[in-house]
Structure 1
Amino acid sequence: MTTATKKLTLEEYLAYNDGTDTKYELVDGELVEMPPESDKNNLISLYLLSIFLKFVPIKLIRHKDTEIVVTGNRTRVRLPDLMILTEELFAALGGGRATITQDMPSPALVVEVVSPGKVNEDRDYRYKRSEYAARGILEYWIIDPGKEQVTVLRLVDGFYEEAVFQGSHHIASATFPDLKLTTAQVLAAGEG
């Protein structure tokens, strides 16, 4: 849902405060309200956070609280479900606002858990795919409970190459080559 008609600049977005706890993404200058996640999606992203803790220190993991500036027709700011930072990006954030600006390094990995509906599917499969590729994010995972699959997109020469995993097949990750995780395990986490 778009909540403002005036096109905001990045600076105006970063200073915006409507006095509520509502989370927004900035899409081509417009504030887009992000509804609360389903419990299933939260459980999936928390489960992945617990898995990634075996590979990276907690300081490099961000869960639904760090935004990233990407480029569309105008500036866009996204709120991924989960991100794995590099040490360089962690240093660049420097303990300030949890916003990854365009002058900072890219995260090593971004994960989105798809919510039901065409608008949500388009956002995660189409728009974020091109935005994250343009931002130089080396690996982007799309967890889709509805399709019962995990799509791993790996950046090669500026474009994502995709691999789709279902059921008991192990998810192959260039970022985490020692990962032993199946799609079934990821989706089962959403069942509690």
Structure 2
Amino acid sequence: MTLSSTHRKLTLEEYLTYDDGTDTRYELVDGELVEMPPETRQNNAIAVKLLLEFARYLPQQLIAWNAEIEVSGRLANTRCPDLLILTPEAATALEGTSRATITREMPPPALVVEVVSPGVNNRIRDYRHKHTEYAARCIAEYWIVDPQEKQITVCQWVEGAYTDRVFQGGDRVISHIVPEFTLTPDQMFELQA
């Protein structure tokens, strides 16, 4: 759902100070506020499982949940990934900020995780649009966690573009950012009832 209180496009600065008095989360897409609907219970469970797994191997200050990142587009754009792994430099850049927004002036995160929500538009956004946007930010790894296909696509930054590798079943997910990661897609998508 796209919202806009005016007919003109918002700048990033206007977006970062926007407050409609609710706790609604928005992304800024081509200058328009786009409401982010609540995640499904399954997607939240997957994100929590990943967060707990990452916490086994990484310092807490490098794991970001409920953060956003400015990406390239025709106008200012932001994305709200399900999970981020920050570089130490990105974590330092966010210290003391009033909002967990990684702007273009800041170092990019090391890894971005998107859990694909149901629906064709969500699939297109995660597999195509965000793939391009995160590549333009030179993010070392972008994980597309797909509960519908029961697969994890690890997009690794290699010489200016992403090289994608799909992991399914009992294949151990290979990450250069979190080399100790041991979960397989089968284990990732096993959720407690």
* Shorter-normalised TM range: over 0.9
- Measure, in 2, the Cα distance between the counterparts of 1:178 and 1:55: 7
Q: Does 1:101 align with 2:107?
A: no
Shift of 1:101: 0.7
1:84 aligned residue:
85
**Corresponding residue for 2:51?**
49
Shift of 1:181: 1.4
1:3 and 2:3 aligned:
yes
The Cα shift of 1:180 comes to 1.4
Distance 1:113 1:57 in 2: 22
Q: Calculate the TM-score normalised by the size of structure 2.
A: 0.95
Q: Distance in 2 between matches of 1:95 and 1:82?
A: 20
1:129 and 1:24 map into 2 onto residues whose CA distance is: 19
Distance 2:116 2:96 in 1: 29
Q: In structure 1, list runs of 5 or more residues that go unmatched.
A: none
1:95 Cα shift?
Answer: 2.7
Which of residues 151, 154, 157 is equivalent to 1:155? 157
Aligned length: 190
Q: TM-score under structure 1 normalisation?
A: 0.96
Structure 1 residue 58 displacement after superposition: 1.1
Match of 1:12 in 2: 14
**Aligned pair 1:66/2:67, yes or no?**
yes
State the AA in 1 paired with 2:88.
E
Structure 2 partner of 1:174:
176
SS of 2:190's equivalent in the other structure is: helix
Shift, 1:153, TM fit: 0.2
Q: Which segment drifts farther, 104-113 or 2-11?
A: 2-11
Q: Confirm whether residue 186 of structure 1 aligns to residue 188 of structure 2.
A: yes
Residue number in structure 1 paired with 2:141: 139
For the residues of structure 1 that align with 2:79 and 2:68, how far apart are their CA atoms?
A: 5
Task: Give how far 1:158 is off.
Answer: 1.5
The runs of 5 or more residues in structure 2 that have no matched partner are none
